[in-house]
Amino acid sequence: MGPTRKFYSLQSQIILSFLLAVFLTAAVGGLPTLWLIRQQMDQQAWAQVDTGQHAALTQYAAWQSRLSDLARLTAQRPTLAAMLGQGDTAGLMSYLDALQSGEGVDLILVCDGQGQPVAATAVGPYNTAGLCQLPQGGAYTVDTSHVPARVWLLAAHPLDLPGEDGAQVVVGIHLDGDFVLQMKELTGLEHTLYVDGLVAVSSYGAQPQNLVTVEPGMQAVATPPEGVCCTFELDERPYYAARLPLEETGVTSGAEFEVALPVGGIEAAQRSLFAFIALSIAVVALIGSLIGIMLARRISRPLVQLAGEASRLSTGDLDTPITVDSRINEVVQVSRALEGARDDLASTLANLQKEKAWVNHLLESIVEGIVTLDERCRVRFFSHGAERITGWSREEVIGKRCDEVFKLVGDGSPDYGDIASFSESLPAAGQRTRLLVSLPEDRQVTLSITRAELSPAGAGSGEVALVFRDVSETETIRRLLGYFLANVTHEFRTPLSALAASIELLMDQAPDLTQAEMDELLKSLHLGVLGLQNLVDNLLESASIEAGHFRVSPRPYDLEAIVIDAVGTMQPILDKYEQQLYVDLADDLPEVQADPRRVAQVLVNLLSNASKYGPSDAEIILSARQEGPWVRVEVADRGPGISNLHRELLFRRFEYPANVDTQSKVGAGLGLSVVKTIVEGHGGQAGVENRLGGGSIFWFTLPVVRGV
């Protein structure tokens, strides 16, 4: 038995199904919606950061432009040029202080033609070294002498002074806390300046040293725009930020600015949305559970009734109708289907009983034998065909082992070998084998056996079915055919050997041979060729007969001419064996309806058999006379004769015109079968009789030409 399965009630399964449907609906609908909303909010936040970044860049560009204009206007003031020309340093400093206050800048520096500071005014301490080499235009620089470092935005413009080439005016503003607060108001984002990765000034409201650098913080959903790449947390508050280097024009500043958007509100909105969805799911799940309980109770009652009806069916009660009281359409349909199944099952059972009887009758009618064996090779079923083939009755073999019913016989042939038992020799499933077995009354038959597995695939060994038939006659024909092929081989080998020997002798000793010896060798070659020609003709005719292509073409013909042709063919062979042939044809012999080539072949075959099975120096008589509408032709020899038992089989293929006890010359066994077929093709008959004084008379008849 398999492992015990745990079953659940319909009510619990329906409730669980409702809850699963609710959660799946929330997962499929709510969670993607929440994710889309969060992504949209993130996209808007990133867009705001990107906008603030561009706004900051615009403000920096505006400051650069303003300072460049201020530097140009300052350099063009006549008063400044006059004071420089007079060397009035005190007046120049006072003038620069007033100009600085009026323009709202933090630095004004005047440099002479040698690149040395002449006068400078600045808000707070500032290191002016190296600023006189500032190229024309705007630039950012960093004062590292102060901690934290200070970032300045500067602009330079040359002075037009006689003899002072290279003199210029430099103006600048300090990017301090007021500046970043102003940038915050303009962009709506927090603003921070960095020098070499350290905070220089920030709008967060904390001291610069308490600020942190940008580090990965909360995970954003939306992909930020190009150039906007950072998230970080400060004081547990998340920010989206973008950082860019300040533009440089000849002075290496190492300064960067950063804009940052606090996104704590986005996370709060996401948490509120998630809480709302979770609450909605819980409410829907509760309502679904209540509906599931009510629906489960409504469905379970008629299902219990259906289960009872099904249990009754399993006990074999197919006569009581199935009825279930329910208003659920599906349950009613199931009950009707179950009732239909009951009715169909009853009808099917009756039909199966009829079919079983018919199958049993069919099995009994099959000609082949059918046997089923259990796993111990004991007979479980034995058909009438098996009884007919084996001679065993069903009662005698049921329950016996197959080795007791079918006893193998080893005949020494390669097909069987030395086999111990029938069960060990059975073929594999779907395969076929032949076995020689011994049956009652010492009868031996060859069975062709096919095996089939009756157990399901993968179920291991079990019952098998054997289908067998008696192929003893086929086996006999096969062996006889082998005997025939051996004889044909012998028939070919003997004349071929003689031909080869004669030809070899001619090739080696032809110049030394006398004319008589040469004639003898040529005569031997001729006889060998004639024998082979006759054998080949018989083989071809036999194959033509077997294929159904054999035809004769009778026409009026002189029988004497046919006899002369056949005698001329056989005379060398008769001379070789010193046999005398006497031809006795009636003087008034009429024309016959004959195919001359075929009839000549008949005569050659009969004369060849007479010579082959007759002794040397014996006489052979060929005679012909008219008997009504037929001409009877006879060939009489002095051979051993034909027994009455063998005479009926004589004109069949592979049979030989000799007594079974006579060791006579062996032939192919085709000549007389060809004779019979040719004669019957002319409408005549062929036969054999014993000859007085010993020997046989082979005869055949041919029709006389009509009107003769």
- Do 250 and 398 belong together in one domain? no
The CA distance from 607 to 637, in Å, is: 9
Mean pLDDT to the nearest integer, 61-79:
87
Q: Are residues 90 and 202 in the same domain?
A: yes
363-410 pLDDT, tens digit each: 666 767 888 888 888 998 888 888 888 888 888 888 888 888 888 886
Q: Tell whether the torsion through CA atoms of 195, 200, 201 and 206 is positive or negative.
A: positive
For residues 178 and 708, the model is more confident at: 178
How far apart are alpha carbons 339 and 309 in whole angstroms?
A: 9
Closest CA to 661 of 690, 689, 640, 637: 640
Percentage with pLDDT > 70 across the chain: 74
pLDDT, average across residues 39-65: 86
Among 624, 579, 627, 572, which residue's Cα sits nearest to residue 602?
Answer: 624
Judged by DSSP in three states, 592 sits in strand
Q: CB 54: neighbour CB atoms within 10 A?
A: 14
Residue 633 has pLDDT above 90, yes or no: yes
SS3 per-residue string spanning 311-348: HHHHCCCCCCCCCCCCCCHHHHHHHHHHHHHHHHHHHH
Query: What's the CATH code of the domain at 651?
Result: 3.30.565.10
Do 181 and 51 lie in one domain? The reply is yes
> Both tokens of residue 372?
């089923």
Inside any domain, residue 193: yes
pLDDT at 664: 40
Least confident window among 22-31, 81-90, 246-255, 684-693: 246-255
Q: In which band, very low, low, confident or very high, does the pLDDT at 550 lie, cut at 50, 70 and 90? A: low
With respect to residue 600, please indicate whether it lies within any of the assigned structural domains. yes
Q: Is 204 helix (H, G, I), strand (E, B) or coil?
A: coil
Joined together, the tokens standing for residue 228 give: 């906007």
Query: What's the domain count of the chain?
Result: 3
Q: CB–CB of 401/408 below 8 Å?
A: no
Q: Is 458 inside any structural domain? A: yes
Residue 578 parent element (H or E) = none
pLDDT at 127 over 80: no
Note whether 688 and 698 are within 8 A (CB): yes
Contacts of 647 (CB under 8 A, 6+ apart): 688
Single-letter amino acid code for the residue at 377: C
Same domain, 689 and 549: yes
pLDDT at 655: 54
The pair of three-digit structure tokens given for residue 355, joined into one six-digit string: 């079919």
Which CATH number is 199's domain given? Answer: 3.30.450.20
Residue 592 lies in a domain: yes
**Can you read off the two tokens belonging to residue 656?**
């030989």
Angstrom distance (rounded) from CA 140 to CA 173:
10
Mean pLDDT of the chain, nearest integer: 77
**Does residue 284 lie within any of the structural domains?**
no
* Higher per-residue pLDDT: 347 or 485: 347
Sign for the CA dihedral angle at 268, 273, 278, 282 comes to positive
Do 579 and 434 share a structural domain?
Answer: no
Residue 663 has pLDDT above 50, yes or no: no
C-alpha angle 76-81-86 in degrees, rounded to nearest 5: 175
The CA-based diameter of the chain, rounded to the nearest angstrom, is: 180
Higher per-residue confidence, 410 vs 708 = 410
CB 607 within 8 A of CB 581: yes
Decide if 502 contacts 526 (C-beta within 8 A). Answer: no
Domain boundary at 210, 231, 262, which? 262
pLDDT of residue 402: 87
Structure tokens at 34: 């929440």
Q: How far is CA 150 from CA 146, 190, 199, in A?
A: 7, 19, 10
Band of residue 701 on the pLDDT scale cut at 50, 70, 90: very high
SS3 44: helix
* Strand extents, DSSP E, 383-473: 407-408, 432-439, 443-453, 464-470
Using the predicted structure, report yes or no on whether residue 687 has a pLDDT greater than 70: yes
pLDDT tens-digit readout, 470-500 = 777 666 666 656 555 655 555 555 566 656 6
- Is the same domain home to 132 and 199? yes
Q: What residue has token string 């669980």? A: 16
SS3 of 382-436: the string is ECHHHHHHHCCCHHHHCCCEHHHHCEECCCCCCCCCCCCCCHHHCCCCCCEEEEE
In three-state secondary structure terms, 178 is: helix
Q: What is the mean pLDDT of residues 417-428?
A: 74
Q: How would you classify the pairing of strands 117-122 and 107-111? A: antiparallel
Closest residue by Cα to residue 198 from 151, 162, 265, 164? 151
How many whole angstroms separate alpha carbon 242 and alpha carbon 227? Answer: 7
The rounded Cα 451 to chain-centroid distance in angstroms is 30
What is the DSSP annotation of 121-183?
EESS----TTGGGPPSEEEEEEETTSSS-EEEEEEEEE---TT-TT-EEEEEEE--HHHHHHH
Q: Is pLDDT larger for residue 59 or for residue 487?
A: 59
pTM, two decimal places: 0.41
Mean pLDDT of 499-503: 65
Same structural domain, 605 and 674: yes
Distant-in-sequence, close-in-space partners of 382: CB < 8 Å, separation ≥ 6 = 370, 371, 392, 394, 397, 398
- Give per-residue pLDDT as tens, 100-116: 888 888 888 888 878 78
More confident residue, 278 or 95: 95
Structure tokens at 419: 């086999």
> What is the distance between the alpha carbons of residues 224 and 314, in angstroms, rounded to a whole number?
69
Flag whether 57 is in a domain: yes
* Structure tokens given for 363: 């099995």
Quick one: tokens of 652? Answer: 């069949």
Residues 231 and 101 in one domain: yes
Strand order in the sheet with 686-690: 580-585, 619-627, 630-636, 696-703, 686-690
Shared-domain flag, residues 61 and 191: yes
> Which domain covers residue 411, as residue numbers?
366-470
Asked whether residue 301 carries a pLDDT value surpassing 90, the answer given is no
Degrees to nearest 5, angle at CA 242 with 237 and 244: 140
Q: Quote the pLDDT of residue 584.
A: 93
Query: Average pLDDT for residues 632-660, to the nearest whole number?
Result: 71
CA distance 59 to 187: 9
Residue that terminates a domain, selected from 427, 453, 470: 470
Task: Say if residue 553 is in the same domain as residue 461.
Answer: no
Q: Which helix (H) or strand (E) holds 604?
A: helix 596-613
The answer to whether 403 touches 420, Cβ cutoff 8 Å, is: no
Q: What phi, psi does 489 have (nearest 5°)? A: -60, -40
Residue type, 237: R
Domain co-membership, 125 together with 216: yes
For every residue of 606-647, DSSP letters joined together read HHHHHHHHSPTT-EEEEEEEEETTEEEEEEE--S----HHHH
Sheet holding 150-158, edge to edge: 117-122, 107-111, 168-174, 150-158, 137-143
Does residue 495 lie in a domain region? Answer: no
Tell which of 262, 292, 312 closes a domain. 262
As a whole number of angstroms, the distance between CA 310 and CA 107 comes to 103
Phi first, then psi, for residue 498 (nearest 5°) are: -65, -40
**Burial readout 532-548 (b: 16 or more C-beta within 10 A, e: otherwise):** bebbebbbebbeebeee
Task: Note the pLDDT tens digit of each residue in 137-166.
Answer: 777 777 776 777 788 888 888 887 776 777
DSSP class of 705:
P
pLDDT tens figures, 555-607: 999 999 999 988 887 888 788 788 899 999 998 899 999 988 888 888 988 99
Higher-confidence position of 37 and 207: 37
| 78 & 195 share domain | yes
Separation of alpha carbons 408 and 83, rounded Å = 142
| Residue 246 CB-half CA count within 13 A | 29
* pLDDT at residue 250 is higher than 50: no
Residue 270 included in any domain:
no
**Amino acid at the residue 601:** Q
Which pLDDT score, from 0 to 100, does residue 649 have? Answer: 63
